């Protein structure tokens, strides 16, 4: 121990330390090791802030502490001032420092008799236990400063709330779960955890922690790319479905590469197959793969949907996080080899589901297999039967025609370059590198939904809308062409 001064902790650093000491170390000393925040991650943060802002409307006569995290001490001063003013019923983003920990309380509600409620807002749809340390460390700081905390609440979204299309009813959109009892039990651990974190941070060297399953539990760690940079291409973690227990055992034996896993080590059938493929550097092809791929009726429709997935519902009759389909692409392969492409993209800010359904039913007709990648499209179609009961029979008739290419590939084929993943984003570059997603502006479904929202926003300039439209059509079309080509490649 050098006795170096430990940096100030915060609520997020406390949570980082609980997940992984190395993560906390990097958060404090090596932020430059973190990967860049992706547009999707940024959108998730922004959605969280939007939910937080809406929640404050349930606590009127409150004031917002506007100072950002770089001006925490100013936020603390403003908070004290607001607390002294009895007319202030609630303080949003209230800032405090105690015991070497800085916190911002989402909502500090004045409840009379000098008491306050601590309200933490989350954009999740339930009060999971992973939020307990989050509120417990805030309680530790507030109690340490002498605040009389009456109740500890978690405000989260209510996924049974249905928007009527007129005004979001905040009382119904949010649910409030009382976590007081559980948080008080948890907060007994906070002082010792802070001591452990501070001791670790005062050490001259970073803790020696290897990446494994803990890196994504409960949150994906932003230092992942940095931590795995020296791992072999076929690192044991990429073995599909490997348990933490098996990871630990292999680490203890000094085994990091799949090819070095001893034959005596017990693996599942798929894991064993992957190991053989890696050792022999060749693909596994089931003897009935081609039969499965050929067991389809022409014209074969390769189908993909893009959907909106919003915390705050946008259209009448929808719930938080309900998937709303706004785009489809269908590459149609005829028996004579001719390929036709049909597509739909809703370009207006309106509930797209009826137009989506009508155009889709027209394109798919009543003949031919429908190839999807995973059962996502099937679930969306089932969802549409409730929204549009008048088309229920036609929609249900589609389900019997669906063939899930993902299921076929994951059961009947493996290539070492899949690196344990059967997602189309892994399968396509391994089989057909010239068709990789790399050069596309939109490379994943979540980003497609976010870009769509940007496109239908009235304030987005027309030129930008045009670009987004082109990118969306390219991305969705690429997905369906990819399926067609994967089937072609594996059937050859």
Among 209, 231, 289, 388, binds ligand SF4 (CB under 6 A): 209
Kindly state the smallest distance separating residue 223's Cβ from ligand SF4, in Å.
4
DSSP string across 120-171: EE-SSSS--GGGHHHHHHHHHHHHHTT-EEEEEEEEEE-TT----SS---HH
20 near ligand SF4, judged by CB under 6 A: yes
236 near ligand SF4, judged by CB under 6 A: no
Enter the tokens of residue 121.
């807002």
Q: How does 412-430 read in b/e, with b if 16+ C-beta sit within 10 Å? A: bbbbbbbbbebebeebbbb
Query: Phi and psi of 278, rounded to 5°?
Result: -70, -45
Where do the DSSP E strands lie in 346-392? 370-372
237 near ligand SF4, judged by CB under 6 A: no
Q: Which is nearer to ligand SF4, 34 or 40 (CB)?
A: 34
Q: Which is nearer to ligand SF4, 215 or 405 (CB)?
A: 215
Neighbours of 454 (CB within 10 A): 13
From residue 457, give the alpha-carbon distance in Å to each of 308, 314, 414, 450, 452: 13, 12, 42, 11, 9
Neighbours of 119 (CB within 10 A): 23
Q: What angle, rounded to 10 degrees, do the helices at 392-399 and 376-387 form?
A: 170
26 near ligand SF4, judged by CB under 6 A: yes
18 near ligand SF4, judged by CB under 6 A: no
211 near ligand SF4, judged by CB under 6 A: yes
Kindly state the smallest distance separating residue 205's Cβ from ligand SF4, in Å.
14
Q: Which is nearer to ligand SF4, 216 or 491 (CB)?
A: 216
- Helix or strand run (H / E) with residue 106: strand 101-112
Kindly state the smallest distance separating residue 25's Cβ from ligand SF4, in Å.
8
Q: Which stretch binds ligand SF4 (CB under 6 A): 17-25, 167-175, 267-275, 460-468?
A: 17-25
Kindly state the smallest distance separating residue 221's Cβ from ligand SF4, in Å.
3
Among 92, 174, 197, 223, binds ligand SF4 (CB under 6 A): 223
Query: Phi and psi of 90, rounded to 5°?
Result: -155, 150
Q: Which is nearer to ligand SF4, 29 or 45 (CB)?
A: 29
Kindly state the smallest distance separating residue 115's Cβ from ligand SF4, in Å.
38
From residue 10, give the alpha-carbon distance in Å to each of 35, 57, 146, 440: 21, 26, 19, 38
Neighbours of 479 (CB within 10 A): 23
d(CA 161, CA 132): 25
224 near ligand SF4, judged by CB under 6 A: yes
Kindly state the smallest distance separating residue 130's Cβ from ligand SF4, in Å.
15
Kindly state the smallest distance separating residue 217's Cβ from ligand SF4, in Å.
9
Q: Which is nearer to ligand SF4, 94 or 237 (CB)?
A: 237
Q: Which is nearer to ligand SF4, 31 or 470 (CB)?
A: 31
Enter the tokens of residue 395.
């929609």
Q: Which stretch binds ligand SF4 (CB under 6 A): 40-48, 209-217, 255-263, 434-442?
A: 209-217
Question: What residues line the site for ligand SF4 (CB under 6 A)?
Answer: 19-20, 22-23, 26, 209, 211, 214-215, 221, 223-224, 227
């Amino acid at each position: 121990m050098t006795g170096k001064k430990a940096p100030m902790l915060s609520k997020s650093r406390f949570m980082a330390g609980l997940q992984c000491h190395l993560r906390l170390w990097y958060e404090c000393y090596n932020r430059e090791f973190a990967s860049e925040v992706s547009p999707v991650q940024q959108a998730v943060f922004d959605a969280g802030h939007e939910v937080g802002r809406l929640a404050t409307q349930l606590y009127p006569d409150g004031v917002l502490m506007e100072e950002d995290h770089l001006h925490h001490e100013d936020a603390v001063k403003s908070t004290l001032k607001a607390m002294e003013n009895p007319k202030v019923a609630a303080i949003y983003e209230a800032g405090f420092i105690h015991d070497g920990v800085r916190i911002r309380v989402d909502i500090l509600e004045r409840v009379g008799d000098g008491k306050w409620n601590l309200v933490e807002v989350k954009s999740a749809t339930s009060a999971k236990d992973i939020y307990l340390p989050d509120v417990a460390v805030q309680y530790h700081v507030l109690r340490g400063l002498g605040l009389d905390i009456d109740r500890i609440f978690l405000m989260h979204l209510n996924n049974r709330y249905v928007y009527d299309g007129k005004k979001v009813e905040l009382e119904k959109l949010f649910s409030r779960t009382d976590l007081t009892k559980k948080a008080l039990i948890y907060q007994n651990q906070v002082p010792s955890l802070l001591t452990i974190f501070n001791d670790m941070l005062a050490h001259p060297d970073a803790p020696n922690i290897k990446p494994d399953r803990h890196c994504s539990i409960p949150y994906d760690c932003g230092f992942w790319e940095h931590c795995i940079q020296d791992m072999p291409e076929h690192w044991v973690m990429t073995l599909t479905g490997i348990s933490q227990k098996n990871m630990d055992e292999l680490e203890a034996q000094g085994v990091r590469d799949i090819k070095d896993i001893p034959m005596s080590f017990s693996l599942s059938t798929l894991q064993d197959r992957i190991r053989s493929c890696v050792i022999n550097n060749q693909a596994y092809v089931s003897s009935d793969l081609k039969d499965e791929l050929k067991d389809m009726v022409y014209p074969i429709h390769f189908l993909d949907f893009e959907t909106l997935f919003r915390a705050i519902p946008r259209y009448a009759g929808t719930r938080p996080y309900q998937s709303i389909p706004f785009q489809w692409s269908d590459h149609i392969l005829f028996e004579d080899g001719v390929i036709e492409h049909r597509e739909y993209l809703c370009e207006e800010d309106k509930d797209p589901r009826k137009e989506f359904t009508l155009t889709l039913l027209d394109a798919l007709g009543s003949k031919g297999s429908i190839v999807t990648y995973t059962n996502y499209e099937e679930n969306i179609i089932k969802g549409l039967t409730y929204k549009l009961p008048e088309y229920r029979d036609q929609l249900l008739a589609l389900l019997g025609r669906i063939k899930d290419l993902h299921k076929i590939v994951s059961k009947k084929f493996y290539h070492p370059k899949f690196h344990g993943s059967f997602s189309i984003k892994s399968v396509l570059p391994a089989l057909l590198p010239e068709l990789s997603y790399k050069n596309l502006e939109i490379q994943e479904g979540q980003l497609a939904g976010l870009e769509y929202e940007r496109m239908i926003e009235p304030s987005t300039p027309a030129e930008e809308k045009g670009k987004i439209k082109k990118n969306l059509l390219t991305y969705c079309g690429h997905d369906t062409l990819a399926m067609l080509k994967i089937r072609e490649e594996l059937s050859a």
